[in-house]
Structure 1
Amino acid sequence: MDIRFSAAEEAFRADARAWLEANVPRGPRPAGVDLRERRDYDLAWQRRMFEGGWAGISWPREYGGRGASLMEQVIWYEEYARAGAPEITTTFVGLNHAGPTLIACGSEEQKAYHLPRILRGDVVWCQGFSEPNAGSDLASLQTRAVFDGAELVVSGQKIWTSFGNVAEFQELLVRTDPEAPRHRGISWVICAMDSPGIDIR
């Protein structure tokens, strides 16, 4: 296997290294339990990457990403680590879960609304997968969702929802077909965290 980098890939590395050296925040990242302070820091860094053209490097260009190849992504993360760039936490779910899911399966309206906001660092997403009686066994999840006219009514409980108290949206897994086998009948739902009835503890 030839894993030598091409001239174009080395040029990509040089660009990434130069940008990171010039832009990585030099001060310490907020520590402790103040998640809003950490959120503000992470979103400011996300905005800086967006303005520099380095946000969503694996996302297709048509959705605002860099369109980087797999090797370019490897190079980017090598340089990112070398530069001591901030660990991605509060923006992780939006960039690496919700965004790619919307790119693959979302409607054009959903893509147009959500993808730019994720890339620009306007919003935080959290993950609503695990449940008290199921843990991370998604085949055992019990949160239900049924349509009431044009509205989807969700009933259930989620746990281990990191950053749920500072997020605008949640990628929520719900059971929409209780008659289906355990590993089927599950839907991925965009849930606004300010929706009526949500209780964050």
Structure 2
Amino acid sequence: MKIGIIGAGNIGGNLARRLGPLGHEVRIANSRGPETLPELAAVEGVTPVLAAEAAEGAELVIVTIPLVKVQDLPGDVLDAAAPGAVVIDTNNYYPQQRDGLIEAIEAGQTESQYVAEQLGRPVVKVFNGVYAQKILDVGEPGGPRFAIPVAGDDPEAKVAVSAIVAELGFEPVDAGELDESWRQQPGSPSYGLMEDADGLRAALAAASPDRTAEWKA
């Protein structure tokens, strides 16, 4: 599969490190230019590119930049993706720690609904609550298999994303539509949880849409 990754931080970089060697054609970009990603350039199947080129021909695009920066992406950043491309959002809202106040989210819009609105594309929310190192650890032979939530409004897109999640060694759990994706946001019982599918489903069911003080602006 042709995969574009916009963002080469801990999550984006480790996804590239896993997906390239699995046989996918991965193009990855950061805000500083491909010449700043020599380590990723050395990974099988991974090509650093300019941000404007990351989505070219991609069947799957992963947007994994700070939430506050999504609004700054060019309006046409996804235009060159393959028809019907699926878009993954890995993001979280960190108002006190990084993003400042985003009024729409404070008013009740879920993080990924906000991202979808900024991109003008539907998204699937996944990988937002997993520690970056776990993306590498689950690829080890005989390593643990943890469940992670997959939320989105398009059932077919969720099936495609769940297949990637499973290929990486995680167990995908359908977490509902985006208007319920608060169940996996920071501060929820499932955020950072490394359990099996039953444990994750219980954590999702126990979640509250009310943000705790740490996760409010």
Fold match, TM over 0.5? no
| Structure-2-length-normalised TM-score | 0.26
Which structure carries more helix by proportion?
1
| Structure-1-length-normalised TM-score | 0.28
